[in-house]
Amino acid sequence: MLLKTLVRSVTLTLLAFFVIIFSKVDAQLDTASITQRLNQNKDKLGKNFAFMLYKSGKVIYKKESTDFNLKTLQPIGATSQWLTAAVALTFIGEGKLSLDDKVSDYLPIFTKYSKSFITIRHCLTHNTGIQSDIVTKVFQKSKFSSLELEVNDIASKKDIQTNPGTETKYSNVGYTILGRVLEVIAKKPFERIVKERLSVPLQMRTTTFANEDYDAGVDPSSGARSTALDMNAFLSMILNKGMYNGKTILPESSLKLLHEIQAESRQIKGIPKQNEGFDYALGEWVIEKNSNGTASAVGVPSQSGTWPVVDLCRGYSFVIFTKDLSNVPNKEFYLSFKQFIDDMMPKNCN
């Protein structure tokens, strides 16, 4: 009887402790200051933007405009690569794909045109060595009606400029090839794969890679459209160790791969200005590292006006969507805003 009483007492004490801790976190969140900070930076964000802040299993702050709310669908540019990488990692988690598999194992045309040494890892890390156009496809419609036709064109007409794996050069090519590989493995169109493995399980109801006019092929590298609400679901899954609503979307082994640094910033050529100074993992940029040199905060600053961030150390995520793309906020603004949020959050790791 004494033991039961002791166990009950310890349990209640622990519960009280966690209640106090989480209450303290919420109490530290100065929502008025966040609102003021956002309003003061309308010259950078524009009048129409959406913002969500998530922690401890819930949205703890949100702000939206009348003409641009949390459900407004918008191109998300390079953030598309984060989604594509996550989808690829679901296949890796199931043992249907490996980072070091050769692309030619799935797409024999790559052997025919002397590109047989390119691997899945090379595609995910901008290391294919294939000639590419400047990354400005965010608002461009593909001239190809399918990924198969586009990738066949890449294989047959694009030259190898450097040996695969020897030079990290930011481009759209690798993720386009990867999308086609996933189609071959799953025997389904890329858009359907994303829906089944990511969008539907995460309740990202409006997120799509389908072209707006539905008459051109999908673009796995920069062609997705999403909402702040949908992106919050994706970020919360990453923050919650691959889980969403009690279901595993990404196994922890795959999640670990997602955050594994593949290239240091100084090694990356053709890097967009807003990504300068960040290391690259798989589909995401490493915004901060801990004392061990591993990722502690990740995200994708994008020219499309979106910036999703997951702070693995402080245990929160946020997403900013802006409508005025003529004046996309620069990296300095985003980093200063993140520091502002950091100051309200307790640090949970070194």
**Mean pLDDT across the chain:** 88
**Is residue 44 assigned to a domain?**
yes
The amino acid at 329: P
**Is residue 11 assigned to a domain?**
no
What is the per-residue pLDDT for 15?
Answer: 42
C-alpha to C-alpha distance for 238 and 35, rounded to whole angstroms: 26
H, E, C per residue of 78-142: CHHHHHHHHHHHHHHHCCCCCCCCEHHHCCCHHHHCCCCCCEHHHHHCCCCCECCCCCCCCCCCC
**Is residue 187 assigned to a domain?**
yes
What is the band of 214 on the pLDDT scale with cuts at 50, 70, 90? low
**Is residue 4 assigned to a domain?**
no
C-alpha to C-alpha distance for 302 and 342, rounded to whole angstroms: 21
**Is residue 20 assigned to a domain?**
no
CATH number of the domain that residue 158 is part of: 3.40.710.10
What is the band of 326 on the pLDDT scale with cuts at 50, 70, 90? low
Least confident window among 92-96, 274-278, 312-316, 343-347 = 343-347
Token digits of residue 327: 């004046």
Mean pLDDT of 248-258: 95
What is the per-residue pLDDT for 157?
Answer: 94
What is the band of 141 on the pLDDT scale with cuts at 50, 70, 90? low
**Domain membership of residue 301 as a residue range:** 32-342
Query: In the chain, how many domains are there?
Result: 1
**Is residue 198 assigned to a domain?**
yes
Instruction: Give this prediction's pTM.
Output: 0.89
What sections of 94-137 are H helices per DSSP? 109-112, 120-124
CB 70 within 8 A of CB 62: yes
Over residues 85-130, the pLDDT tens digits come to 999 999 999 999 999 999 999 999 999 999 999 999 999 999 999 9
**Is residue 18 assigned to a domain?**
no
Mean pLDDT of 78-86: 97
What is the per-residue pLDDT for 290?
Answer: 92
